[in-house]
Every structure is written in structure tokens, then in C-alpha cells.
Amino acid sequence: MTQETALVTGACGFVGSHMTAHLAAKGYRVVATDHPGADRRRLAAGIEFIPADITRPESLEALGRAEIHKIFHVAAVFDYLASQETLERVNCQGTRHLLEFLSNRRSSIRHVVVWSSGSVYGRNFKRAAVTEKDATDPINPYERSKLLQETIALDFQKTTGLPVTVIRPSAIYGPQSRYGMAVPVFLIRKGLLRFVPGDGRPIGSFAHVDDVVGAAEFLSARPEAAGEIYNVSDDSSMMIEDALCLAADLMGVRFFRAHIPLPPLLWAAWIDETVSRMLRRRPLLERDLIEYMRRNFWMDNSKLKSLGYAFKYPTLRSGLPGTIEWYRRAGWI
């Protein structure tokens, strides 16, 4: 069989670099792309890199040098402090530009996998795991941008026949992660988070980065996945309090099951964000990240598993120890 060529956007980031490594290990010829100023040190040796900016359609023409069979569209702004304009320009219009470019070359394209986020369920997270059939109700600008991105991607599937699959990962963790779920881990290690925010009772499920990229590649090989949305989430149904205690135990840090009311914490985060903006630095606390401590983030993965996908790390307890060990070896904690 002829070697397949896979294009990975956002290839220099946390998830994108794992995606390129996974595909290379699977025998694909990998073409990596990211904006011209991206730090390429995470990319494995031997992977072809073509700089392109998805917000500038003309720059995508450089990607036409290769006959591409599969596309893994990871590129996005994942930053709760980013402006709505920035989020829409990159996450939404950038996706539109990429799909327009691909639709003009669809004769060679076998599958496109587009990254959304489980956070699009927003206010509709409940005391049971949400399925792909549940309504979406995003809360913050990032979540709204990812839902609009989904709509754009699936509209292209309907109007052009481009085979597009959308994935909704839950809270992603793993080696090299610095943001999102990694933030409370670092705060615990620094001694800045020693108590449980809120009542600690919201339930979450998680996704190791190896499973996110593994599921994406798995779905790209299944024609029946085109036009569909899949939750990518492990089997965990763990209370936030237990997840924080697990991280603290793995790092050997003392952590108390006493609870901090969320309103004072949100007030402190607002002050930190305001001061950090003036000082042009990253705040330690972000209100939108703290807000995730007050609502469930529990997702059903049965649709993905019904196709035969088997999770490498089915629970947070199976995947977090290796991540913490990686942080330790890298000197991050």
C-alpha cells in the first residue's frame, strides 16, 4: 500500500507535536505546519515543516507542494484570556480558510479531522455523562469559538463532500502540557493551591494526549466517521476534589480536603488578571479556569468505543502518574 501523507496544523504546539510523533510512528509521511514564528523544537527529527498561517489564505498555497491524504486540524488559540476577535479569527475563520483550500484539492483527500472541545456543552453539563446528542450551550468566548468552528467544518462536509470528522476532547493532559488542566497541577506543586476550590463535587472525565491523537488517527481510517462528532474522553467519573488530591499525592505535596469558597478565589483571579495585564505578564489565576471547578465536565465515550477504539489510558489514575514523572524529569515541578 502506498504510504499516506498526513498534514498536521498547529504542529508545534502541545497536542500538535504529539500528533506528528504518533503519525510518524504509524508509518505516515508527515507534513507539519504552523505559523512562521512557531517554536519547532517539539517536532521530531525528519518531519517536514512548511510554515503557513491559517489566518492568511494566501500562505496556505505553500502546502500544495505535497499530495495530502489526511489532515489533522489541531491549530487553534486555546487561551481563556484571548479576545473574542482573536479567537474567531484563528479558530473560526482560520478553519474556514483551511477547508476552502482543501476543498479545491479534495481528489486526493481521504479524511479531515477537526479539533473542537468538550467544553462546548457548557451549561448543559449535568450529573450524568453528556453524549454527542446532548445540546451545546457554550459559556465563554473560547467555547463559543469552538462551537462555531464545528459548524463551519460540518457545513463544508455537507456542501462540498469533503470528509470531515469533528472530535470533542475532554480535559487534555499529558507530557509537555502547560495550560488548561496542567495549571492546578503546577499551583499545587508551588504550594499556591493547598485546599479544594468550591465544594469539589463536580465530576470530570479526562483525556490523555496519547488517546486524543490516537483516537483522531483511528477515526481518520473510518469512512463512516465522516460528518460525525465524537467525544474523546476516558472512562473516568472523578470528582474534582479527588483529581486534585491524586495530583498532590503523586507529587508528594501536602494537600487538604478543606474547601475554599469560589467567590473570593474568583475575586483574587480578577485582581491577578488586572495587575498582570498592566505588567504584561501571564496571571497565575484565571477566572474561566476557576469556573470549571464549579461545573461538571463528564463526557460519555460510548460512540467512539462502539467503533472499536480502546483507550491506552482509560482513567486519570492510569495516565497521570506518567505525566507527573515527565514533569519531574523535565524540571517543570
| pLDDT tens per residue across span 101-149 | 998 877 789 999 999 999 999 999 987 899 999 999 999 999 999 999 9
pLDDT at 111: 96
Query: Residue 185 — φ and ψ, nearest 5°?
Result: -60, -45
Dist CA 265 CA 279 (whole Å): 21
Q: Phi, psi at residue 90, to the nearest 5°?
A: -85, -55
Task: Please report how the helices 316-330 and 240-251 are oriented relative to each other, as an axis angle in degrees rounded to 10.
Answer: 40
Once rounded to an integer, what is the mean pLDDT over residues 224-239? 96
Read off the pLDDT of each residue in 221-230 and give the average, rounded to a whole number.
Answer: 97
- Residues recorded for the chain: 333
List own/partner pairs for 85-90 with CB under 8 A and 24 or more apart. 87/141, 87/142, 87/144, 87/145, 88/145, 88/148, 89/55, 90/54, 90/55
User: Given this model, what pLDDT does residue 325 score?
Assistant: 97
pLDDT score at 85: 96
Give the Cα separation of 155 and 161 in Å (integer).
Answer: 9
Reference 207, options 246, 252, 177, 229; nearest CA is 177
Rg (CA), the chain: 20
Residue 212, sorted as left (phi over 0), alpha (psi -120 to 50) or beta, turns out to be alpha
pLDDT at 291: 87
Q: Is the pLDDT of residue 284 over 90?
A: no
| pLDDT at residue 197 is higher than 80 | yes
How does residue 5 score in pLDDT terms, banded at 50, 70 and 90? very high
Q: Residue 48 pLDDT > 90, yes or no?
A: yes
Q: Rounded to 5 degrees, what are φ and ψ at 170?
A: -80, -160
Please tell me the distance from the alpha carbon of residue 234 to that of residue 44, in angstroms, as a whole number.
27
pLDDT in tens, 139-182: 999 999 999 999 999 999 999 999 999 999 999 999 999 999 89
Task: Round the average pLDDT of the chain to a whole number and report it.
Answer: 94
The dihedral through the CA atoms of 183, 292, 213, 238 has a sign that is positive
- pLDDT mean over 303-318: 98
Joined grid coordinates for residue 311: 483507550
Quote the percentage of the chain above a pLDDT of 90: 77
Average pLDDT value for residue range 69-88: 95
Which pLDDT score is estimated for 166? 98
* Class level of CATH domain 5-177+205-237+297-315: alpha beta
> Which pLDDT does position 67 carry in this prediction?
87
* Rounded average pLDDT over 28-33: 95
Maximum separation of any 2 CA atoms in the chain, in Å: 60
Does residue 56 surpass a pLDDT of 90?
yes
Examine the pLDDT at 60 and tell me if it is beyond 90.
yes
- In this prediction, residue 1 has a pLDDT band, given cuts at 50, 70 and 90, of low
At 206 the pLDDT is 96
Strands 229-232 and 259-260: unpaired
Q: What pLDDT score does 66 carry?
A: 78
For the chain, give the percent of residues with pLDDT over 70. Answer: 99
